[in-house]
Each structure stands twice: as C-alpha cells, then as structure tokens.
A = this chain, B = another copy of it.
C-alpha cells in the first residue's frame, strides 16, 4: 500500500487521558483510534495486525477439528438464569438494555451459556460426540476502570472455543491437545518464549485450571515461574500442598509481572448439569456431557505484543503479525522513484506486503514513522545506491543494516 493513500497519520503525542503504553503507541502510529476508555476502533494498519492474529488462531483451531460459527451480542436473560449468572451481584460487568416491550436483554460479556444452549439443540446421542465449536466474537464488559489500553477493554475481540465430550477421558485428552495448540499459537505470534502454561485454581470440578501468561511489565498479574521446568503458578495456587503436587520447589520460583493471554477451563459435568445438557449413551442411558472452554483475548494479545516489544522509537512487530513486512523509502531523484516503483511492484506481485512511503516528506520523518509503526524491514533506495545497484535493508528488531543485491534482497524477503 502507498502511504500517500492511507488516511491515518502518525502523531508525536497520544491523547492526554491515555495512560497505557500499548494504546499510546498504537494511537500515535495510527493503528487504533480511541472512542472512550477501553473502547478502541481499529484503523487499516491495526485491522491488518488483528486479522493476522485471528488467522493464526483460526488455523490452529481448525487443525484441532473445531468448527467456526458466530453467536450474537444480544443475549437472553433466561439463558443466564439457568446458572444464576444474570444476577449483577454474581457478574458485575453486564451491559444490559431493554426491548421496546420492556424485555431485558444483555450484551454478551461471555458466550458460555448461550453457546451451550445452542449446541445442545443438535446433540443427543453418543454418536454425536465429540464436537468442538469456536468463534471470534466481540465481548462487552462494563469494567469500572479501563486503563490498560487494548489489553483490558470494555469492548474487545475474543476467540472462545468449547469442547463437548462423552467421557472424562476424551474431555481431558482434548484439553491436553489444546494446550499444545495454544503453545503453537503463542510461538507463531512471537511471544512463545515468554508465555507460560500457568496453574490456576480450578473451581469445583477440577483441581487446577490453566492460564497462559506472558511476561510483560504492563501486566496486572504476578506469576511464579520455574524456568527450568517451563511452568508457572499464579498467586491463588501458591501454597505448599499445590507446589508439592506439581513437583515445584518454592526456592526456584521467580516472581514476574505478566498478562493472561489465554485461559482454559475444564468444567467436567458441572455446567451440563446446570443447563441440562445430556446425551443417550450406547446402552440407552442418559449421561451428562463433559465440557471445557478455551479463550484467547485477540485484541489483548495484540496489546501485549505491542507493549512487550516496543522500544523508545515505537512499535516492533514480529513478522508473523506485522501489517507489512517491508517499509520502502525512496530518497532522491526521479530515477530513484522509478526504481522504487519497480521494486514495490515486484515485491507486491510476489505476495510480499510493502508499505511504500511515497509521501512528499523529509527522509528523517519517514524513517521515524517506519520505526514508530514497527515494520520489520526498512528498505531504502537512494541515488548513491542506483549506481551500485544495491538495496539498503535495516531490521527494526535489532537495527542491523545490510547492503543487498537484487537477488539477495528477494532471497531475504521471499
């Protein structure tokens, strides 16, 4: 894309009321726009990042054999009455409104109950199981404070997946498979090295649930990491009994700030009992369905990536989620522009995404924008390079600079 056509502009400052680093940078780079605290619109470059994260998650969910669907924002009171979670004393983040006939409706802060109510209409025999469904859905949560930018929104995008199994063993096996899929997702998103499967308290049915926590200074949580064993526990389960059970030594734990980027939960049959979700087994006996739920905050993950890798010059996107791989800057004569046009067309035709800074602007300003936007490679073409035939490529991550021939450039970016 040519930057002369992009409607957003970068800016030197963020809104005065924006206190979070991720939102400050994303706003300054033109990726997001603040509607109100905790509510952000995604401009073209921000939407590109979000779509790449979404697609990585989708591929891994599809790989598990999950089926994508899309529920609704509007939800029925009756659905949530079955588990008592319509009550504002139990769930204090509801946005509610009313139909014209005074019927109360809620705006989905979660889809657990609605999605279970939906799938159970289709499933009745043991032959129907297992099934796993997921969606990318906007959630509305009436948070009292929303000061973490897109890491904790009043409106945000979430991937929520639900597994329905006929037995505890199958339920557990799929739960374990999903942990592996989640690990692959965080690795592909570039935060794998700093994301830990973290033991959290498990509620009534199961001893532990699992969180995925990414080490990040902006985190609202603390986790206790055993780097050697590659696992962590959260504060809730930090007691001698649990540590013993997990084979962890308290002295080897490191206390670190973190953000929860995923959460998986084994409901066992508790939720099915509340919602009367049963099936007929091979012996014609009625059985409760085993359920688990698996969430990833998509916009939150984007915020964590933004916040975690940023430096004093701006954002630093991993290649897998960057809005483009290359930021192309021509400096100099018309011959340089012609060469830049050619390489832009050539890279684009090979499917390599390029932000072409064809704006009438000083090179220093373009370099600064490239750094603020966090594009992995800056490709510079100047008069000097026209003679040598070389291309200058600078890596955003480490600042490494190289002079490459045309073939070397294509090999590097291809």
**A positions within 8 Å CB-CB of B:** 5-9, 30, 33, 35-36, 39-44, 46-47, 50, 65, 67-76, 95-97, 99-100, 105, 107, 114, 118-119, 121-123, 128, 131, 133, 138, 140, 142-144, 154-155
CB < 8 Å neighbour of A138 from B67, B131, B138: B138
Check B74–A7 contact: CB distance below 8 A: no
* Chain B residue nearest to A76 in the complex (CB): B36
Main secondary structure of the interface of A (DSSP, over half): mixed
Check A122–B74 contact: CB distance below 8 A: no
In the bound complex, residues from chain B placing their C-beta under 8 Å from that of A144 are 100
- Cβ distance A75 to chain B, nearest Cβ, rounded Å: 7
Give CA–CA (A36, B72) in the complex, Å.
Answer: 10
Check A39–B74 contact: CB distance below 8 A: yes
Give CA–CA (A296, B30) in the complex, Å.
Answer: 27
In the bound complex, residues from chain B placing their C-beta under 8 Å from that of A143 are 100
Check A74–B154 contact: CB distance below 8 A: yes
Check A142–B100 contact: CB distance below 8 A: yes
21 A-B residue pairs with CB within 8 Å? A5-B65, A6-B67, A7-B67, A35-B71, A39-B72, A41-B70, A41-B118, A42-B69, A43-B69, A44-B67, A47-B68, A47-B69, A47-B70, A72-B155, A73-B140, A74-B140, A74-B154, A97-B97, A97-B107, A97-B142, A100-B144
* Chain B residue nearest to A146 in the complex (CB): B99
Check A97–B99 contact: CB distance below 8 A: no
Check B122–A35 contact: CB distance below 8 A: no
Give CA–CA (A106, B352) in the complex, Å.
Answer: 41
Check B7–A123 contact: CB distance below 8 A: yes
In the bound complex, residues from chain B placing their C-beta under 8 Å from that of A76 are 35-36
| CB contact under 8 A between A68 and B39, given known A97-B97, A140-B74, A142-B99 | no
Give CA–CA (A47, B72) in the complex, Å.
Answer: 12
Give CA–CA (A35, B103) in the complex, Å.
Answer: 14
- Cβ distance A253 to chain B, nearest Cβ, rounded Å: 36
Check B70–A122 contact: CB distance below 8 A: no
Give CA–CA (A50, B135) in the complex, Å.
Answer: 14
Give CA–CA (A36, B144) in the complex, Å.
Answer: 29
Give CA–CA (A343, B299) in the complex, Å.
Answer: 41
- Cβ distance A109 to chain B, nearest Cβ, rounded Å: 12
Check A119–B7 contact: CB distance below 8 A: yes
| CB contact under 8 A between A138 and B69, given known A7-B122, A122-B30 | no
For A100, A131, A133, the residue with the greatest tally of chain B CB atoms inside 10 Å of its CB is A100
* Chain B residue nearest to A44 in the complex (CB): B67
* Chain B residue nearest to A157 in the complex (CB): B70
Check B68–A133 contact: CB distance below 8 A: no
